[in-house]
Amino acid sequence: MNGDSAWQRLFAAGKRASARRIADLFAAEPLRDERFTIEALSMLFDFSKTTISEGDRALLLDLARACAVEARRDRMFAGAPINETENRPVIHWALRLPDGASLMLGGIDIADQILETRRRMAAFARALRSGEYRGEGAAAITDVVNIGIGGSDLGPAMATRALAPYHDGPRCHFVANLDPADITDTLAGLDPAHTLVIVASKSFTTMETLTNARVAHQWMAGAVKDPGRQFVAISAHPERAREFGIDPARVFDFPDGVGGRYSLWGPIGLSLMLAIGPGDFADFLAGGHAMDEHFRAAPLEENMPVALALAGIWHRQVMGYPTRAVLPYDQRLARLPAYLQQLEMESNGKGVTLAGAPLDLPSGPVVWGEPGTNCQHSFFQMIHQGTDIVPCEFMAAAEGFEEDLAPQHGLLLANVLAQSKALMLGRSLEEARAMLAREGLSPEEIERLAPHRSFPGNRPSTTLLYPRLTPRILGQIIALYEHRVFVEGTILGINSFDQWGVELGKELALALIPVLEGEAPAEGLDPSTRRLVGWLAARRGSTG
């Protein structure tokens, strides 16, 4: 295991922490509120409401050093092939480099290519948004349908929703699922003459995306003479997009060293750029780049992605909590938990180290969540009183965009602060008894109800605060989480940049297609799958 003795010291610290109350740490560490917050780039990250003591924090930082986080970070930013199982560099951060930057890899300036593609995207976006680029019969493009899945969907869908106050371009729609319901329902309200279709696929081989793209093409061909004119493709394999029949002038590419789930910053973000315009998109990139610079330059003790990652390591690998909840008190970040599910779980859901040995630590956690305050009225019961501990990652903006409703935003903030406070402090049995006595209940009723009305407390959470969800701040938040994943993956000694675990299901699906269609025998299947196939075969086509 990476950093063996540092881990052993941490496991011992974790045992001591199990018997400790967070509230007592504030008494023992008078500067805790200050020392367990990091302020950078106008954002504040607070990890004081955790069981991590000053001493534990030092051990976590020792672990990061023992696992050479800084050296690996520098290798990533130098373009070294740290994605060892695919023999590639990891260069999604290069997509947010500013104009004039350079990144030489194998004698080629990759930054030049990236910036040239960004210029082409911006020119296309300007032409479409100004009405210079039009659909059939000189119809203005009012709607854009992005067809892609995983990283080719979640990033642009999440960010487009997050930046709704900046929308002044076409409406954007997102189709991901192979379920024909998705494309059917999306196209149902649209006029082909006024629609642009973006086929987004890094590999340009993904079954879902190519199948939906063909359906969209047929839909377009049924109404316009030159359907191809209203198709754009985004891929790291532009030749495949051209073979698919998309005009090279409207194919935007990006390097293979950009993982799908990290690709929002380049052409995969075209739908976002069309919605908010190239200027605001540039601010989004500038935010991501600012977080890169912070991650590269800030000492480990003051480094926000490192602090977020070490809190993650503490909760998952040291304390053993299997999940963590992401709770943005920001409705426009409603898709952020889904986005982070892919980012974190596809990156760090690995059971084998870089050296090919079984990982003898728990892999990355289950990541889930919902925006607040909705979450308070669904699963928070379990978070407050259930028997499992779920570390919570709260986030909130100081201000919303609805200036006339500023007091309502204040209610939102009161709620997010109340939740983390309630999780930390809880309510003891004695406090519950006293509360029920004040309500005038009889002694028998008090004894009966007090256990139900008490809260164990001591439930950990972190809080990220930011001024307002601008493009720049969104860029900072996304890059913060990307680097968090990098630090956690480096400490675990795994490759955060491949995803072999998604392949087996894809292969088996291909093999099952002819069986389901009755063109191949079901005999070779396992008994359970064979039975399911049989049940489906008896009913398919009979429900109409």
Nearer to ligand F6P, 273 or 345 (CB): 345
- Our CB check for ligand F6P shows the closer of 88 and 530 to be 88
Considering only residues 324 to 363 of the shown chain, the ones binding ligand F6P according to CB under 6 A are: 346
Contact flag: residue 201 with ligand F6P (CB under 6 A) = yes
Out of 261, 316, 384, 433, the residue judged to bind ligand F6P by CB under 6 A: 261
Nearest to 22 by CA among 55, 51, 57, 56: 51
CA 6 to chain centre: 29
Amino acid of residue 338: A
Span interacting with ligand F6P, options 163-171, 203-211, 301-309, 405-413, rule CB under 6 A? 203-211
The span of 59-67, 108-116, 195-203, 362-370 binding ligand F6P (CB under 6 A) equals: 195-203
Active-site pick, 344, 346, 370, 488:
346
Region 144-173 residues binding ligand F6P, contact defined as CB under 6 A: 148-152
Q: Which helix or strand (DSSP H or E) is residue 147 part of?
A: strand 143-147
Active site residue 506: yes
Task: Indicate if 289 belongs to the active site.
Answer: no
Sign of the alpha-carbon torsion through 420, 421, 422, 426: positive
Do the beta carbons of residue 44 and residue 38 sit within 8 Å?
yes
> Which tokens sit at 222?
């049924």
CB of 244 to ligand F6P, least distance (A): 12
SS3 (DSSP) at 328 = strand
CA distances to 237, 463, 474 from 466, rounded to whole Å, are 38, 10, 10
Instruction: Using the minimum distance from each CB to ligand F6P, give the nearer residue, 150 or 156.
Output: 150
Report in angstroms how near the CB of residue 295 gets to ligand F6P at its nearest: 23
Instruction: Please select the residue that binds ligand F6P; options are 51, 117, 209, 348, rule is CB under 6 A.
Output: 209
Query: What is the C-alpha separation between 487 and 310, in angstroms, rounded?
Result: 8
Query: Distance of alpha carbon 239 from its chain centroid, rounded?
Result: 29
Listed in sequence order, the residues at least 6 apart from 153 whose beta carbon sits closer than 8 Å to its beta carbon are: 146, 174, 175, 176, 200
510 lies in the binding site for ligand F6P (CB under 6 A): no
- To the query of whether residue 346 is one of the catalytic residues in this protein, the response is yes
Q: How far apart are CA 163 and CA 494, in angstroms?
A: 33
Cα–Cα distances (Å) from 513 to 146, 177, 504, in that order, read 26, 17, 15
Our CB check for ligand F6P shows the closer of 51 and 499 to be 499
Whose tokens are 């935003």? That residue is 409
Cα diameter, the chain: 82
Strands 104-105 and 108-109, bridge-based pairing: antiparallel
* CB of 173 or CB of 261, closer to ligand F6P: 261
Among 117, 186, 195, 206, binds ligand F6P (CB under 6 A): 206
For the bound state, the minimum distance from the C-beta of residue 263 to ligand F6P, rounded and expressed in Å, comes to: 7
Q: How far is the CB of 149 from ligand F6P (least distance, A)?
A: 5
Please report how close the Cβ of residue 272 comes to ligand F6P at its closest, in angstroms. 16
Q: Find the catalytic residue in 39, 54, 301, 377.
A: 377
Minimal distance, residue 238 CB to ligand F6P, in Å:
13
The stretch among 23-31, 142-150, 450-458, 514-522 that binds ligand F6P (CB under 6 A) is: 142-150
Q: Known catalytic residues? A: 346, 377, 506
Residues at the site binding ligand F6P, with contacts judged by CB under 6 A: 148-152, 201-203, 206, 209, 260-261, 346, 499, 502
